[in-house]
Every structure is written in C-alpha cells, then in structure tokens.
C-alpha cells in the first residue's frame, strides 16, 4: 500500500506523528485523517448525537480543516 501525505500540521515536533491527512492507493475514494483522540467526557457527550457507533471523535489544529466545508446548514 502506498500512503501519500496531503497535509501535515505545522509546528509539530515530530513530522512522523503529527495530525495529518492522507491518501491510500487502494482506496482513492477516501481520505485518512490522523487526529489527536478526544477524551474529555463533556466534549464526547456533546458530539454523541453526530456520531455512529463505528465512529470516534478526534481533533487537530483549526487551520488543517476548512471552516465551512459542509453544505449541511449550520451548527449542529
């Protein structure tokens, strides 16, 4: 499998383990995102209604992701 790094968080001390976005040659229709795992129970509870059982919440620097990339109609 060939991984292509599309974007990596700036200011990361270790370029190998940063928040990042990737392509994988065997699934060109997907983007793979490495995030920091959210563990705060209050934040997880706030997002619970937006996540399916097979999803998890992570985070990264705001400049890694477009602010308005959703045509879903505003805040959740």
Residue in 51, 60, 71, 48 with CA at minimum distance from that of residue 22: 60
| Residue 31: strand, helix, or coil | coil
Quick check: 37 and 19 in contact, CB under 8 A?
no
Q: Can you give the pTM of this predicted structure?
A: 0.74
Each domain of the chain, given as residue ranges in start order, spans 3-64
Residue with tokens 């996540």: 51
Which stretch of 18-22, 44-48, 62-66, 72-76 has the lowest confidence by average pLDDT? 72-76
- The H or E element containing residue 24 is strand 20-24
14-61 pLDDT, tens digit per residue, is: 767 788 999 999 999 999 999 999 999 999 999 999 999 999 999 998
């Amino acid at each position: 499998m060939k991984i292509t790094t599309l974007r990596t968080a700036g200011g990361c001390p270790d370029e190998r383990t940063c928040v990042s976005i990737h392509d994988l040659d065997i699934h060109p229709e997907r983007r793979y995102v490495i995030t920091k795992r959210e563990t705060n129970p209050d934040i997880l509870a706030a997002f619970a209604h937006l996540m399916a059982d097979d999803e998890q919440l992570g985070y990264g620097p705001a400049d890694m992701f477009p602010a308005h990339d959703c045509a879903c109609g505003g805040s959740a």
